[in-house]
Structure 1
Amino acid sequence: MLDPELCRQARLSRDARFDGHLFIAVKTTGIYCRPICPAVPPRERNVVYFPSAVAAAQAGYRPCLRCRPDSAPDSPAWRGNQTTLERALRLIDEGALQEGSLADLCERLGIGERYLRRLFQQRFGVAPKTYALYRQCLFAKQLLHQTTLPVTDVAYASGFRSLRRFNDAFRTHIGLSPRELRRDHADRTPGLTLRLAYRPPYAWETLRDFHASRHIDGLEWVGERHYGRCLTWREARGHFTAEHDPDHHRFDVTLELDDLRALSPVVRQIRRLLDLDADTRTIEAHLAHALPGLPLVEGLRLPGVWSLFEAGIRAILGQQVSIAAARRLVTTLVETLGEPVVDATDRARYHFPTPAQVAASDLAFLGMPESRKATLRRFAAWFQEAETSRDPSTWTTLKGIGQWTADYATMRGASHPDIWLGGDLGVKKALPALEGLDPGAAAPWRSYLTLQLWTHSP
């Protein structure tokens, strides 16, 4: 439940740390806003607070055109803590209801349609399809505000199969037609550049330095204020560069993608990669209370890897070697097996190798023991064929993969918040200076504890 007094303070102070945690609906205008909205604050008696944009829309309010709720960071609080609901939301965000039916989704979840509908009614007050459709419309609104994509391309990128269906849904859920919204708001940048917000603080320098020491030439690029990389999503290929804008608590992300149907899940993957939806204020308050005396880096974020498969390969290549040695091995693998990218700047760029490419190679070009090469091939072949391979907890059944490898890949490839890498060398080096530390007290944020300890490792 939302605390009305806390909501009031956040609204009046325009505190960006609450952005995405609550939405403010104004009874007299029929509009809902983010806490950071620059409009003159309404009287408290005219305000209603909602935990999510979907809930505000279901109550009959339309999104503000000034603060743009479509751009707010997601809130883990409204996503819930039920495993089934969390997985359903993730699959819907990846397009499960655009590509298949509700029955297909329920079959993947292993539950009945009636039960899934009840979960959504309890959490959002809407049916799963209504939730999915509204999320599509909000993403389309963001594209209309921030890019110069034609309306037809916006519809396609948002998961709509017909322009008529898009126009009808957009007008129903947003209150304007797509062309009306675009005509009235023309502050767009050329090409495909999106503004992805986060809640401050954000320890960009720490995240940047982490990536800089591990980035793979040709696959990734890191600069003073940016991080970028080549990417794949199913059949789609492309690359992005995220430029940090600390003054506005956001990243300006420039994207190139050869299939706009993948745009929405790719953007969500970039958000995960940069850990933009974390509430570091809550996480660090918990760590400080559970582990008093532990010096904390404020705004620390989990440094993501694009996919579980890539994270697994990088973890295997990093077994029992230094960071520099692991980086050289991954670079060699990418340059040898990765798909080259045609770049107008003439820079050599590559996509990360696929499971099929790794499984089919003898990996003779890697200077490492044959047993480690066999582990790589075994892992790639299994990942290519087995549905259970998407769950890293099952990886330890493969010869050559231990708990550290599976946990490291889970933390970075899935951005799991509660992974404790107690066997990691960097963590072991940091622990003697923190006598009496109980990692269990840090749950459910032990991944962030692990990262904090890495920053203290000598």
Structure 2
Amino acid sequence: MLDVEICKKARHSRDPRFDGKFFIAVKTTGIYCRTTCPVHPPKEENVTYFSTAMSAAQAGYRPCLRCRPDSAPGSAPWKGVGTTLDRALHLIDQGALQQGSLPQLASRLGVSDRYVRKLFNQHLGVSPKAYALYQQCLFAKKLLHQTQLPITEIALASGFDSIRRFNDCFKNQLQLTPTKMRKQQDQSNSNITLTLYYRPPFNWQKMQQFLSKRQIDGLEWVTDDSYGRTFFWQDCKGQFTAKHCDQKHCFEVDIEIDEIKYLKPVVNNIRRILDLDADLGQIEGDLKNALPNEFTLVTGLRLPGIWSLFEAGVRAILGQQVSVQAAKNLVTQLVHELGEKHEEQAFFPTPKAMATSDLAFLKMPTARRQTLIRFAEHFSQNDVTDNADDWLPIKGIGPWTVAYAKMRGQSDPDIFLASDLGVIKALKSQQAFDDKKISPWRSYLTFQLWSQL
């Protein structure tokens, strides 16, 4: 339950730390806003507070066109309390109900579709399909505001098969037609440029340094205020550049993609690799409570991700028992020898390209080359899942490799690399503590220790 007095103080303070924690609905206008909305604060008697944007929308309010409450970072009430609900939300956001049915989604979760409906009704107050449609409409709204894509392409990118279905659903969910929602912009701008917000703090300097040390020329590009790379997503390819805007608490992201229907999952993956949805206030609070007082905590430290689980696994194997620079050189050789090239850019090699090569160009032990080939063969199979623990039977892959890949390829927040040489070295200068008490944020602890080297 929301504490009205706390919400009242937070609303008037416009403190960005409350952004996404709750939403403000105004009875006289029928609009709901973020806590950081720049409009003049309405009278308290005209205000109702909601814990989620979804609950405000279900109560009949439409999103504010100035503060765009749909862009507020995901808050805890959205995520629910169980891992099943967390995974269901993740799969739906990735398009599970656009590409399949609710029973198929339930099967992937290992539960019944009746139980999935119960979870959504209990924790979100809506059905899984209603949640999916609302997310599709919010993504379409972002594209209408921030790009000049034709409405037909926006409908396709948002997961709708027909314009009529798109228009009806958009109007029902947001009480406006796509045409009325369209923001007037410079018509000469044809690039896809989106603004991806986060809840501060965000230590971009530390993330930039981490990514820069591991940058693969041609595949990635890193500047003082941006990160970009090429990518594959299913049967499409593209590239993006994310520019950090510290004062606005966001990234301006330019995206090129040859299949517009994959835009939403691509944007979700960009959010993941930049760790934009993390609530650092809660995470750092938990770390401070569990760690010794002498531990120096670096504020705003995020988890820099890798584009795919396969790429993370390859980087982890090439990084076994060698320095960061040596691993970077090996990955660079791999990309330049086997990756698809386009002008001055390169794409990360596919599993098939690696599985059919002897990798003789890599200057490393033969046993490790064979491990890499077996790993690529594993991914070349059609029945490969996203469970990295399935790699352990592959000769040459151990717990460290799997854990590193899960931490950076899936952004698992609870990975403590206790056997990592850097972590061991950093722990020598720290008082003893129980890492289990820091769960579920042990990945952030790992990066905190790395940052002290």
Same structural fold, with TM-score higher than 0.5 when normalized by the shorter chain: yes
For residues 108 and 435 of structure 2, the distance between their equivalents in structure 1, rounded to whole angstroms, comes to 34
Distance 1:397 1:45, change over 3 A: farther
Distance 1:389 1:128, change over 3 A: closer
For residues 355 and 182 of structure 1, the distance between their equivalents in structure 2, rounded to whole angstroms, comes to 41
Deviation of 1:451 after TM superposition, in Å, equals 0.3
Deviation of 1:210 after TM superposition, in Å, equals 0.2
Q: Alignment length, in residue pairs?
A: 451
For residues 272 and 428 of structure 1, the distance between their equivalents in structure 2, rounded to whole angstroms, comes to 27
Deviation of 1:190 after TM superposition, in Å, equals 4.3
TM-score, normalisation: structure 2: 0.97
The aligned runs of 1:54-203 (5 Å cut-off) are: 54-182=54-182, 185-186=184-185, 190-203=190-203
For residues 30 and 46 of structure 1, the distance between their equivalents in structure 2, rounded to whole angstroms, comes to 10
The aligned runs of 1:237-276 (5 Å cut-off) are: 237-276=237-276
Matched with 2:333 is 332
Deviation of 1:384 after TM superposition, in Å, equals 2.5
Amino acid at match of 2:322: V
SS of the residue 1:305 aligns to: coil
The aligned runs of 1:242-321 (5 Å cut-off) are: 242-291=242-291, 292-321=293-322
For residues 3 and 400 of structure 1, the distance between their equivalents in structure 2, rounded to whole angstroms, comes to 54
For residues 160 and 146 of structure 1, the distance between their equivalents in structure 2, rounded to whole angstroms, comes to 19
Verify the 8 A CA contact 1:152 1:163 in the aligned structure 2.
Answer: yes
% identical aligned pairs? 57
Deviation of 1:45 after TM superposition, in Å, equals 2.8
For residues 89 and 25 of structure 1, the distance between their equivalents in structure 2, rounded to whole angstroms, comes to 24
Amino acid at match of 2:276: L
Deviation of 1:36 after TM superposition, in Å, equals 0.8
For residues 15 and 202 of structure 1, the distance between their equivalents in structure 2, rounded to whole angstroms, comes to 15
Verify the 8 A CA contact 2:52 2:77 in the aligned structure 1.
Answer: no
Which of 411, 418, 424 is matched with 1:428 structurally?
424
For residues 302 and 193 of structure 2, the distance between their equivalents in structure 1, rounded to whole angstroms, comes to 23
For residues 72 and 62 of structure 1, the distance between their equivalents in structure 2, rounded to whole angstroms, comes to 15
Amino acid at match of 1:430: A
Verify the 8 A CA contact 1:76 1:277 in the aligned structure 2.
Answer: no
For residues 398 and 10 of structure 2, the distance between their equivalents in structure 1, rounded to whole angstroms, comes to 46
For residues 157 and 388 of structure 1, the distance between their equivalents in structure 2, rounded to whole angstroms, comes to 26
Matched with 2:2 is 2
1:373 pairs with 2:365:
no
Matched with 1:345 is none
Amino acid at match of 1:243: K
For residues 417 and 45 of structure 1, the distance between their equivalents in structure 2, rounded to whole angstroms, comes to 41
Verify the 8 A CA contact 2:199 2:277 in the aligned structure 1.
Answer: yes
Which of 345, 349, 352 is matched with 2:348 structurally?
352
Matched with 1:394 is 390
Matched with 1:454 is 450
Distance 1:8 1:339, change over 3 A: same
CA offsets per residue over residues 412-443 of structure 1, 9 Å max, x none? 01111111001111111111111223222211
CA offsets per residue over residues 105-155 of structure 1, 9 Å max, x none? 222222222111111101111111111001000000010001111111111
Verify the 8 A CA contact 1:146 1:187 in the aligned structure 2.
Answer: no
Matched with 2:33 is 33
For residues 199 and 25 of structure 1, the distance between their equivalents in structure 2, rounded to whole angstroms, comes to 21
For residues 352 and 8 of structure 2, the distance between their equivalents in structure 1, rounded to whole angstroms, comes to 54
Deviation of 1:402 after TM superposition, in Å, equals 0.9
Verify the 8 A CA contact 1:410 1:416 in the aligned structure 2.
Answer: yes
Deviation of 1:358 after TM superposition, in Å, equals 1.2
Verify the 8 A CA contact 1:382 1:389 in the aligned structure 2.
Answer: no
Deviation of 1:394 after TM superposition, in Å, equals 2.5
Matched with 2:408 is 412
Structure 2 gap ranges (5+): none
SS of the residue 1:433 aligns to: coil
Distance 1:190 1:35, change over 3 A: farther
Matched with 2:212 is 212
Deviation of 1:29 after TM superposition, in Å, equals 1.6
SS of the residue 1:111 aligns to: coil
Deviation of 1:197 after TM superposition, in Å, equals 0.5
CA offsets per residue over residues 259-305 of structure 1, 9 Å max, x none? 01000000010000100111111111111111122111111100100
Verify the 8 A CA contact 1:383 1:390 in the aligned structure 2.
Answer: no
1:442 pairs with 2:438:
yes
CA offsets per residue over residues 320-364 of structure 1, 9 Å max, x none? 00000000000111111111124xxxxx21111111111111111
For residues 144 and 208 of structure 2, the distance between their equivalents in structure 1, rounded to whole angstroms, comes to 30
For residues 186 and 43 of structure 1, the distance between their equivalents in structure 2, rounded to whole angstroms, comes to 33
Task: Return 204-213 or 55-64, whichever deviates more.
Answer: 55-64
Task: Return 425-434 or 38-47, whichever deviates more.
Answer: 38-47
SS of the residue 1:159 aligns to: coil
Verify the 8 A CA contact 2:312 2:409 in the aligned structure 1.
Answer: yes
Deviation of 1:187 after TM superposition, in Å, equals 7.4
Let me know the Cα RMSD of the aligned residues.
1.5
For residues 52 and 381 of structure 2, the distance between their equivalents in structure 1, rounded to whole angstroms, comes to 38
TM-score, normalisation: structure 1: 0.95
Verify the 8 A CA contact 1:211 1:303 in the aligned structure 2.
Answer: yes
Deviation of 1:201 after TM superposition, in Å, equals 1.0
For residues 389 and 145 of structure 2, the distance between their equivalents in structure 1, rounded to whole angstroms, comes to 41
Amino acid at match of 2:122: Q
Verify the 8 A CA contact 2:25 2:33 in the aligned structure 1.
Answer: yes
Amino acid at match of 1:131: Y
Task: Return 65-74 or 45-54, whichever deviates more.
Answer: 45-54
Verify the 8 A CA contact 2:435 2:442 in the aligned structure 1.
Answer: yes
For residues 272 and 176 of structure 1, the distance between their equivalents in structure 2, rounded to whole angstroms, comes to 30
